[in-house]
Amino acid sequence: MTVGQQRAWEHSWPRLGRKVAELPSGPLDIAGWFGRSAPVLLEIGSGMGETTAQLAAAEPEVNYLAVEVYEAGLGQLMLRAEKLALDNLRLLHGDAVLLLSHHIERDTLSGVRIFFPDPWPKKRHHKRRLVQPEFIALVASRLAPGGMLHLATDWADYAEQMLTVCSAEPLLRNRFPDWAPRPGWRPVTKFEQRANEEGRVSRDLIFERLSSR
Ligand SMILES: C[S@@+](CC[C@H](N)C(=O)[O-])C[C@H]1O[C@@H](n2cnc3c(N)ncnc32)[C@H](O)[C@@H]1O
């Protein structure tokens, strides 16, 4: 971690963050933590927080949660949050699967975002990819009816995997015939910039949570 990221952990973590492994058992009191009831958006794997900070700033009406396992990334995101004086962003350090399984109630999230998850490009590593049927079923169950799951990736075969997995989940409906048009509000990150330079096309996918089980 850089000195700045370390300082952000010391200074901002007590106010902005919680460790998933240390959460009390049962559902997280999100409204209590934010000090208000508002639609809750969960971003999974916020990385260095480039997108997260900008989107939280652009959506002040939303309670924005980011979950990430990478400490330096969370430190960087806290630096960005301090700079932008964000008060609608909270950070969770740990595994999204544990968070969703044990601390997020069913039918509650207004949106889930998974932008550029680790691609695990080698075939023998594909099983490590986050977007798998069981994980997407878990995500779908935590979305409120009408809530949106938004994914993006610059790896063609991962985009195909996302499309297949999400299309097969009975609780989700693709809002588009296949790929969603790239939303202008999603910031171009260094990852996407590099993909563009290397000739890889980034794909967005937007699925809506259906109400019936
Ligand atoms: C390739 S990075 C993308 C970061 C960011 N979304 C972006 O677009 O720049 C993927 C991130 O997902 C995080 N991640 C992977 N599995 C996770 C999990 N189970 N729970 C939380 N974060 C996870 C990694 O630590 C990594 O920072």
Q: How many Å separate Cα 84 from the centre of its chain?
A: 20
CA angle centred on 202, ends 199 and 205, rounded to 5°: 160
Residue 29 annotated to the active site: no
Instruction: Say if residue 180's pLDDT is above 70.
Output: yes
* pLDDT band, very low/low/confident/very high, at 46 (cuts 50, 70, 90): very high
Catalytic residue among 95, 118, 154, 157: 118
Q: What is the rounded average pLDDT for all residues in the chain?
A: 96
Q: Where are the alpha helices (DSSP H) in the chain?
A: 3-16, 30-34, 50-58, 71-83, 96-103, 133-142, 156-168, 190-197
Kindly state the average pLDDT of the residues 23-45.
98
Contact 136, 172 (CB under 8 A): yes
Instruction: State pLDDT tens for residues 67-116.
Output: 999 999 999 999 999 999 999 999 999 999 999 999 999 999 999 999 99
Amino acid at 28: L
- Asked whether 97 lines ligand 1 (CB < 6 A), one says yes
Instruction: State pLDDT tens for residues 121-132.
Output: 899 999 999 999
Token duo for residue 194: 């590099």
pTM above 0.85, yes or no: yes
Ligand 1 centroid–CA 212 distance in Å is 30
- Asked whether 202 lines ligand 1 (CB < 6 A), one says no
Residues in Cβ contact with 29 at an 8 Å cutoff, skipping those fewer than 6 apart: none
pLDDT at site 88: 98
Pocket perturbation via mutation, ligand 1, pick of 44, 102, 135, 158 by most ligand atoms within 8 A of CB: 44
Q: Which atom of ligand 1 is nearest to the CA of 192?
A: 8
pLDDT at site 190: 84
